[in-house]
Chains A and B, each alone.
Chain A
């Protein structure tokens, strides 16, 4: 049931406890307990809202994907340098990658200049960072499984019942 609740909440974190109870056929108390436990164990790490900021006029948001090559450190591997990077507020995500570079760092800022400054002054200057390659996001078509383009309307008609 834990898994079922996680799948449901991943799809829509605004499901009420009552809805979850109906769908999983548990009592409301049981659902609350399971969620509390998942939160405590940090299986559920937070609840956020997926927003398409491009539709909000007065909020400029620039997002960049930065490929970072680093020198792993003895005894610490990539963890220490990842930690140095993820503490910056500008950094929204850090992933350790296989392939031609080591870390993917997602950075957000209010302008391209701001992001560029962050990369050149804060990120590239870190001791273990060998190189960076910054790619700015021009348009988001789909994020977290949600398509941002205009959804089509329900065009189903009544035919034979």
Chain B
């Protein structure tokens, strides 16, 4: 009996992650520096952790309402209003999810009929493609490029649309490029989105981490509120990755359908995390500001470092990654990363892990201390000099 054949084809067909193996090597290597990890290096601020602990002490260990604790949903609603000037009714238009990732999954499964297409600007977060396939949809990559600062261009969107197109994922601020979309950039997409009656899933998990410019949600723009679901969470803004807490906000019809799916798949998000999440939204603005300032300093050091060694490095305005081009070295992304690890013991992620358009680039996270970043830059420069 071959168990392999018992696995559903759509799951079998997703290739195993090559990156995993690569980073297993890194963790074993003495003296290696990694700029690979995509999560904050900060601990969750203490007052937030403390609320989680307090809830445990009080024995608050039962399920919450399926869609999340009413108080948390009220805070999510307040937050969306305070930060982005968007109004969502707490009880009908918000859903607390198990991380932003669950939001992506259930939004796709809630909306997609078999064979419908999802437009995915790339390079981007690696989960959109498999989640679309698992939901029975067809992922359609749209390659963004450095020339246009990795922003989705209206003519690219128009060209990718077919009668089967249903959803546009807007992954900005972007992992891995650090690109953001301004109000003007977004406005150009609106006529096309409306013409083809698309639903927008706006993944705004990095919304708090923009530098110099404030994040604008497409839901703020004319006629977009009623066709946009915003997916976000606590992981990046409040350094709460392990708490697995996120949320989705959007039109009542979609949120209530997503809630239906969520209640059967996950019941509810972890209660402890929800108590901590209330504290984060209520009293965490200053923590976000401090972390953002720290990231910004590191971002500048890193961009400057890459440019000084002669690599073209697009100015990232969001998230915590830089995405320098390594084309000048003549190496492929994977070759570059493997050789860099073996020769200088620095681990970075090949750009093509985020879609084919990421070939020729590497992703370097600056969720590391300035000392680590500087040491890594010294080593990378030594390596790059051999090739250019």
CB within 8 A of A19: which of B20, B23, B301? Answer: B301
A158 in contact with B20 (CB, 8 Å): yes
Report if B176 contacts A (CB, 8 A). Answer: yes
Nearest chain-A residue to B374 (Cβ)?
Answer: A19
Give a binary string over B151-182; 1 marks a CB under 8 Å from any A CB, 0 the rest: 00000000000000000000000011000000
Q: Are B349 and A161 touching (Cβ within 8 A)?
A: yes
- Contact partners of B27 in chain A: CB under 8 A: 157
Flag the segment in B35-43, B83-91, B380-388 that touches A. B35-43
CB-CB contacts below 8 Å: A1-36 with B: 8, 12, 19, 22-23, 25
Complex Cα gap A12–B371 (Å): 11
A160 within 8 A of B: yes
Q: Which of B292-314 contact A (CB under 8 A)?
A: 296-297, 300-301, 304
B354 interface residue, CB < 8 Å from A?
yes
Residues B126 and A161 in contact, CB atoms below 8 Å apart: yes
Is A154 part of the binding interface, using a Cβ–Cβ cutoff of 8 Å? Answer: yes
Known: A23-B301, A25-B300. A157 touches B37 (CB 8 A): yes
Determine the main DSSP class of A at the interface with B.
Answer: loop
B297 x A8 contact (CB < 8 A): yes
The tally of residues in B whose CB lies under 8 Å from a CB in A reads: 26
Query: A154–B367 Cα gap in the complex (Å)?
Result: 11
Chain A 123-161 near chain B by CB (<8 Å), digits 1 or 0: 000000000000000000000000000000010111011
Contact B301 A158 (CB under 8 A): no
Decide: A161 and B300 in contact? CB cutoff 8 A: no
Q: How far is the CA of A8 from the CA of B293 in the complex (A)?
A: 10
A18's nearest neighbour on chain B, judged by CB, is B304
* A56 → B minimal CB distance (Å): 22
Chain B, residue nearest A161 (CB): B126
Find out whether the CB atom of A23 lies under 8 angstroms from the CB atom of B297.
Answer: yes
Q: Which residues of A contact B304 (CB under 8 A)?
A: 22
Out of A19, A23, A25, A156, which one reaches B41, CB within 8 Å?
A: A156
Known: A22-B300, A22-B301. A158 touches B23 (CB 8 A): yes
Quick check: A158 and B37 within 8 Å, CB to CB?
yes
A34, chain B: closest CB distance, angstroms: 16
Residues of A within 8 A of B23 (CB): 157-158
CB distance from B209 to the nearest CB of A (A): 16
CA distance A156 to B41 in the complex (A): 8
Query: Which residues does chain B contribute within 8 Å of A157, judged by CB atoms?
Result: 23, 27, 37
Q: Does B331 make an interface contact (CB < 8 A)?
A: no
Q: Contacts A19-B370, A154-B41 known; A161 to B354 CB distance under 8 Å?
A: yes
CA distance A113 to B296 in the complex (A): 49
Residues on the A chain within 8 Å of B126, using CB? 160-161
Q: Is B225 an interface residue (CB 8 A)?
A: no
Residue of B at shortest CB range from A16? B374
A residues near B39, Cβ cutoff 8 Å? 156
Option from B19, B20, B37, B363 in Cβ contact (under 8 Å) with A156: B37
4 nearest CB pairs, A to B: A158-B23, A23-B297, A156-B37, A22-B304
Contacts A158-B23, A161-B38 given; 8 further ones with Cβ under 8 A? Answer: A22-B301, A25-B300, A156-B37, A157-B37, A158-B20, A160-B126, A161-B19, A161-B353
